[in-house]
Structure 1
């Protein structure tokens, strides 16, 4: 699904203004099985000091999909928490069950746009539409508003940052890319993931079966190395600044913040 190289030019699209009430009505018609109440309840908040504990944040993009439920089973077996950056169209197709499991089992959900569009190629209205529609559908399914977003392909600029800021969304990039979208080999994915350093944000995709197949060994090896698996909010231990970019690398986070604004980083990745 995301196996091709990053497009260097994407035609600009400007989605129509999204009215929250109209969207909720449309979703109710499309997904009549989605109850409007009985939202999932998250477990008690954990207080983990990642300055004292070896933390790593596993992040999964582009779902939810047919393999997400199995991945959640594996994470539950290892008592591991992760962050899922979901695509709105995938949520609409998958339904609310996996998202509700994520909330009830203590995982974090982030916004990965509605259609996995390259945001830097869109107008301001287009960026708003991509983020707003996904905010709405996740809120409709879980009752929660996301506070994190990941720009597809890692492509961001001043315009993307400004819209993210207006939506209350911090921009989350990564410090370790497993390249699982390109190399569909669970052994290769495992070997790359277990190279995570303390405080790393590891990029993976729950739409690929080989990535899910790698999960038990990744969790086993990192657990043996003394790591604790945390959500991004747990790792940072504070509210993140909307619009700001975070990489999971304290030194890089500091350098990017010191520049005021980093240039566009169009990464050759399936994220």
Structure 2
């Protein structure tokens, strides 16, 4: 067992006890607010009667008063799902382009600029046509932007708490900026190919992945299998006085049964730590640039010291 995992278990087992009695919650200082950007990939997934996974997620977000971001595959948008897109836009969520499909387009695939651009255009046209036919007003609202893009596969090596000084190098990467260099009309798009942490709800192919709601929540809050958790971010935020506007971009999938079941508890746990939920883009983001820097080793401690203990 790694040192930080042992300390985390030890802290959980002892922090709330003194003399065999639980400490009063009022003895804790109020948490410092920080921003969280929940993102849901690979949708939409709804039935002809508009029920289904994406609707369930939207209902929960509405009940909780939370704004989030949805990155859609063009091929996933069925003819009856225009109203789902309308609801996403009208309820103040962000609607993003996740290319036409997943296969062959991930960051690990050597896909040409031409193919990527065509995948983007096909997905964008499906989004726009379905929105316009379902609700012209919502369509006009979508056109006003901001326009979001996420390439499938993403990158989990993103670390807002690492050294930011060298991240400008990434903005010159042709892989990350294909949409700007090749097609002028795609300029102004926010690239969210990266994300900070995941609940593990969409990676069953991994050798180790969550199989229960409890494990899914734990991945989001404490990290798992090399992924960051919220607690890691908060620790580094405290140590390095990070700009709270950087926040956390959280990867989830609305079609995941496990993720949907875990979502209420994830929201509760994050709020208890001070989370304020918003839709992308972040105040610090700008178009035509990779939005968050990449750390070579997301678990490396740049200061050479452990993060446990705050």
Q: Same fold (TM over 0.5)?
A: yes
Indicate the residue corresponding to 1:41 in structure 2: none
Q: Which runs of 5+ in 1 are unaligned?
A: 1-51, 257-271
Is contact 1:164-1:171 (8 Å) kept? no
1:1-271 matched pairs, under 5 angstroms: 53-65=33-45, 66-92=52-78, 95-116=81-102, 117-118=104-105, 120-142=109-131, 143=139, 144-145=142-143, 147-154=147-154, 158-164=174-180, 166=183, 167-168=186-187, 169-172=189-192, 173-181=194-202, 182=204, 183-194=210-221, 195-196=229-230, 197=233, 199-233=247-281, 236-237=282-283, 240-242=286-288, 244-247=289-292, 252=293
Partners of 2:89 and 2:126 lie apart in 1 by 14
CA RMSD in angstroms, aligned pairs only: 2.5
CA drift of 1:94 comes to 5.5
Is contact 1:174-1:246 (8 Å) kept? no
CA drift of 1:78 comes to 0.6
Deviates more, 1:62-71 or 1:224-233: 224-233
Q: Which runs of 5+ in 2 are unaligned?
A: 1-31, 46-51, 132-138, 156-169, 205-209, 222-228, 235-246, 297-310
Partners of 1:164 and 1:178 lie apart in 2 by 31
Is contact 2:69-2:93 (8 Å) kept? yes
Partners of 1:160 and 1:174 lie apart in 2 by 14
Is contact 1:127-1:160 (8 Å) kept? no
Residue-pair matches, total: 197
CA drift of 1:92 comes to 2.9
> Which has the greater radius of gyration?
2
TM-score by length of 2: 0.58
Partners of 2:33 and 2:130 lie apart in 1 by 33
